[in-house]
Each structure stands twice: as structure tokens, then as C-alpha cells.
């Protein structure tokens, strides 16, 4: 597997985005999925990607979070894979911020979503070792919750409150397909 254009809502391939994914039992398969997710995320950008987004119904997602020139306050997490993740706890403290998705109109649409500021997650790493992590940064928590939702057949649009739909915004310049067209 290599770079795969993320499946889109409203397409036949995109139906997988609304289904529960199944756990990984074969770690060779898990590693291949992680590698494809990593290549795809590096190519198209973004901070997270889940297996259903590339057409694979498995409980795997990856994140790649680091400070940037535009967002210097982000934590330096780097690339991390989560296989068969389970959210154990989420904080009562929440924040509301804009989210987008590589599988929703090619990342051109953004909407306000409330998410927990922190969480506790158990997962298997790339070597099949069980890990438990407490995530205290609100942005990191948001990304993990967003990607985990994909494994449960949910999109950020389904997490939005009705009153926040009037704040949806579209930015055609964010279309990830342009990275294929212009080789960026």
C-alpha cells in the first residue's frame, strides 16, 4: 500500500466512513496500514488519519503533531500510531474549536466542534505492545478524539451542535487534490 487519496463523504467508497471498524489481529497487517496512513498523511497534510479514510475497516489511526510557524503552541508529538485504541476517560472540561477532515470535501470545510480538553487512552503500538497514555493538551486530545471517531463511523459534522452549522466555512484553497495536481 502506498499513498491513497482519502475516501470522501457522499461517495460509494465513503460509505465505510459511517461503519464501525474491526480490530487488528495480524500485526503485519497493522504495520502495513500504519505505513500507508503515514505516507498518505505526509503527502496530503493534516494532523491525523484513520484507516477507514483510506478504505480499510480496521481500528488504526495515526497522528503527526508538531509546532509550526503558524501554530507555534502545538505540542511536539511527532508521528504516532494507535492500533485498537480504546478511550478510557475524557475530561469534563471542554473547548470548542474548528475542525476539518481530509474525507469531508477534500478538507475544504471547517466547523466548530466541542471536545474534551484531556483524555486517557489505551492502545497497541506498532510492536503490538499495550500502551496507556494520558493526553493533557486540548489540541492533541481533539485530534485523537476526531480520529477515534472515524473508527466508530462518526464524522466531525455529526459532533457539531445545530447552532454551529451557521458558522461552517469553506476554503477552496485547502483542497488536498491540489497537492496531486501540482506535485506539492
Catalytic residue at 147? yes
Name the phi and psi angles at 180, rounded to 5: -75, -45
Report yes or no: 15 and 25 within 8 Å, Cβ to Cβ.
no
Indicate if the alpha-carbon torsion angle 50, 102, 149, 21 is positive or negative.
Answer: negative
Dist CA 29 CA 35 (whole Å): 10
Exactly one of 42, 147, 163, 172 is catalytic; name it: 147
State the first-to-last Cα distance of the chain, in angstroms, to the nearest integer. 20
Please name every residue paired with 66 in a beta bridge, in sequence order, or none if there are none.
none
Residues designated as active site = 147
Amino acid at each position: 500500500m502506498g499513498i491513497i487519496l482519502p475516501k470522501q463523504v457522499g461517495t460509494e467508497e465513503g460509505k465505510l466512513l459511517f461503519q464501525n471498524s474491526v480490530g487488528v489481529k495480524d500485526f503485519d497487517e497493522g504495520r502495513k496500514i500504519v505505513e500507508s496512513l503515514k505516507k498518505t498523511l505526509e503527502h496530503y497534510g493534516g494532523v491525523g488519519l484513520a484507516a477507514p479514510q483510506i478504505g480499510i475497516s480496521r481500528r488504526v489511526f495515526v497522528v503527526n503533531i508538531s509546532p509550526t510557524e503558524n501554530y507555534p503552541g502545538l505540542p511536539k508529538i511527532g508521528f504516532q500510531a494507535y492500533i485498537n485504541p480504546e478511550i478510557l476517560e475524557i475530561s469534563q472540561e471542554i473547548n470548542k474549536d474548528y475542525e476539518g477532515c481530509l474525507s469531508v470535501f477534500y478538507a475544504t470545510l471547517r466547523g466548530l466542534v466541542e471536545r474534551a480538553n484531556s483524555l486517557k487512552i489505551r492502545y497497541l503500538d506498532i510492536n503490538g505492545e499495550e500502551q496507556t497514555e494520558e493526553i493533557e493538551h486540548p489540541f492533541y486530545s481533539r485530534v485523537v478524539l476526531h480520529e477515534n471517531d472515524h473508527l466508530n463511523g462518526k464524522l466531525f459534522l455529526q459532533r457539531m451542535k445545530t447552532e454551529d452549522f451557521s458558522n461552517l466555512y469553506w476554503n477552496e484553497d485547502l483542497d488536498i487534490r491540489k497537492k496531486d495536481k501540482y506535485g506539492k
